[in-house]
Amino acid sequence: MVPDLALNPRELAIHSLNEEVEKKTRAAVEEAKKSGKELSEIYRRALIPMSPGGVWAGKPIYVSRNEYFSFTLLGISAFMMLKHVVALDTLHTIICIIVSYFWYDLYSGILHVVLDEPANISLPLIGQPCLEFQWHHCIPSDIAREHFLDVAGDLNIAVSIMASLHIVWSSSWTSHPYCSMFGGLKLFMAWFGQYSHRSAHSPRPKSLSPITKALQKVGLMITTRAHKAHYKAPYDEDFCLLGVMEPFITIMRKCVKNNFIWIAIFLFVSAFDVRILGKTMEAIVA
């Protein structure tokens, strides 16, 4: 397929990745015919169109995201954090940031475990994110080849749902300062986690910004070397996108084997984490 020369660099990157999906899928189909083995779910889904609204997973695997929507969500995140930053004690604000950093890394590991489960591709709504995430194992460079706005934009639907939930319920229209702060930080950390993940896949690590390299060096962002372990079958190591909470995910995976329990854990923490963290902080301060 010849790419449209009118496509901009972001669209060309998406087009190139989808072409690679088609090429790898054709090769997998031919191999399955020769070997008689069943075709993997990621290839089977790459042969059928995604249902309207992405309810059921299918192709295209990679799509360009609306950057204006992404910036709107980032603005909401900033509003939730800054609305009360003057009223909060500086020490308490710093504590909120530190707690959010460690909690987000654990949360990213829980999400990663759910997205990496092959059986979840056949589920409605979460199937498409699972499909794209598992194609990342086949094309690890995809996250570095995509524009960062498309990488961050992969979270738009999930972040918009959580933003609505945490504004309306968790922080009661931002009237609870600590819940609002934790809600805003959670949305911001989602972008930071995507940036950390993308940086770990950079084909030219030396070209990363000095700040990024410094954060990787001190262990606040996952390094390329540390993240490489996840891309060896059966893809059961290094789930956390920042890397510091990986030991806890390892313990959880040893204790929890049922996939639906993992989904339940993910849904619970997605809905209640900001409320729990905010109310706990309020109680400590009081």
Q: Residue 114 domain-assigned?
A: yes
The top-scoring range by mean pLDDT among 48-57, 84-93, 227-236 is: 48-57
Residues 38 and 136 in one domain: no
Structural domain tally of the chain? 2
Residues 168 and 34 in one domain: no
Residues 183 and 274 in one domain: yes
Residues 102 and 16 in one domain: no
pLDDT surpasses 60 at 1: no
Q: Residue 241 domain-assigned?
A: yes
* Six token digits for residue 103: 């909690």
Q: Look at 4-13, 14-23, 129-138, 271-280 and tell me which has the smallest mean pLDDT.
A: 4-13
The arithmetic mean of pLDDT across residues 39-47, rounded, is 96
Residues 78 and 173 in one domain: yes
Residues 220 and 182 in one domain: yes
Residues 45 and 105 in one domain: no
pLDDT at 234: 63
Query: Residue 32's domain spans which residues?
Result: 9-54
Q: Residue 3 domain-assigned?
A: no
Contacts of 135 (CB under 8 A, 6+ apart): 21, 42, 46, 61, 142
Q: Residue 172 domain-assigned?
A: yes
Residues 162 and 241 in one domain: yes
pLDDT-derived band at 224 (thresholds 50, 70, 90) equals confident
Q: Residue 61 domain-assigned?
A: no
The arithmetic mean of pLDDT across residues 231-259, rounded, is 86
pLDDT at 231: 62
Residues 50 and 76 in one domain: no
Residues 93 and 214 in one domain: yes
- pLDDT tens digits, one per residue of 54-100: 899 999 999 999 999 999 999 999 999 988 887 788 899 999 999 99
